[in-house]
Amino acid sequence: MKLWKKLEVVENPPAFIDGEDECYYARDYIARGTHKDSEANQLISNFKRHPKFRGQPPWRYKQRAIDQFAAELGGIIGKNLSVAAVPSSKLPDHPEYDSRLLDTLGVLKRLRPDLVIETPLALKASTKPSHHGGSRSINEISFNLEWRGLSGACRLLILVDDVLTSGAHFKACKQVITAHAPDVRVAGIFWARTVWPEAQPPFEDLTK
């Protein structure tokens, strides 16, 4: 079983993530990657394959990515915990609706029947995904989320998403959940965190 990492020592902490947040990730996803064939970039691009490919041969890569993500999540999440997906950017009746995260939790539930899958949040209206120019404002995102409640008592809710980029979606979800269920601790688990090598601040040379 490979080790996941807690997000703490990072070159550039995601813009909206702070010391109060508890996030875990497995891999580095390189934004505008120099090495586009990396395992992480391939997994994520397969996982995010557009719904228009549904039923076509490339779809099997998406299904494989879903199965792998679920299997890897199954290795990190503690027993009997509650798990939820960060809502998709589209409503289910939208042609571009992508159920990849819910599908992942479906596979996870088969692998780990002890887990409780929750759907505490629903989208009010379809939006652009953030990687296609959608909002990264926490307030805008949270205004578009509807609280649906939790099915049972839960002290810790694990929010699952594929890539942690700015952290805006995680923060918006956390904000809505804690507004309605203040006793619930929210942690995020991401398949990858985005790394932006170009944007790093330069080091001062300490040997001078």
Partner 1 sequence: MPKRINRIHALSPLLCVIPYGNVLSVEHAISPRAEMLAYEVLLARLDSSIKSIVGELRSSKRLPSEFLEQAEGMIASELREDVQRFLAGKSGFSVSIAGDFQYPAGLRDAPVELFYYRGDLSILESRCVSVVGTREPSDDGLARARKLSRGLVKAGFTIISGLAKGIDTAALTAAIEEGGHVVGVIGTPIDASYPKENTALQEEIARKHLLISQVPFFRYHREHFSRKKFYFPLRNETMSALSEATIIIEAGDTSGTLTQARAALNQGRKLLILNSCFENQNISWPARFAEKGAIRISTMEDILRELGERQVPEG
* Site residues (vs partner 1, CB under 8 A): 1-6, 8-11, 22, 24, 26-28, 30, 33-35, 37-41, 75-78, 81, 155-156, 158, 185, 187, 189, 195, 197-198, 200-203, 205-208
| Selection from 141, 131, 140 nearest residue 192 by Cα | 131
Q: What CA–CA distance (Å, rounded) separates 86 from 148?
A: 13
Task: Establish how many alpha carbons lie within 13 A of residue 17's alpha carbon, considering only the half-sphere containing its beta carbon.
Answer: 23
Q: How far is the CB of 105 from partner 1 (least distance, A)?
A: 16
Question: For residue 139, what are the contacts with CB-CB under 8 A and spacing of at least 6?
Answer: 172
Using the minimum distance from each CB to partner 1, give the nearer residue, 123 or 189. Answer: 189
Q: How far is the CB of 23 from partner 1 (least distance, A)?
A: 10
| Selection from 67, 127, 131 nearest residue 96 by Cα | 127
Q: How far is the CB of 73 from partner 1 (least distance, A)?
A: 10
Using the minimum distance from each CB to partner 1, give the nearer residue, 10 or 179. Answer: 10
Q: How far is the CB of 119 from partner 1 (least distance, A)?
A: 20
| Selection from 164, 84, 170 nearest residue 131 by Cα | 164
Using the minimum distance from each CB to partner 1, give the nearer residue, 74 or 129. Answer: 74
| Selection from 157, 166, 46 nearest residue 100 by Cα | 46
Q: What CA–CA distance (Å, rounded) separates 205 from 61?
A: 45
Q: How far is the CB of 5 from partner 1 (least distance, A)?
A: 5
Using the minimum distance from each CB to partner 1, give the nearer residue, 76 or 91. Answer: 76
Using the minimum distance from each CB to partner 1, give the nearer residue, 55 or 202. Answer: 202
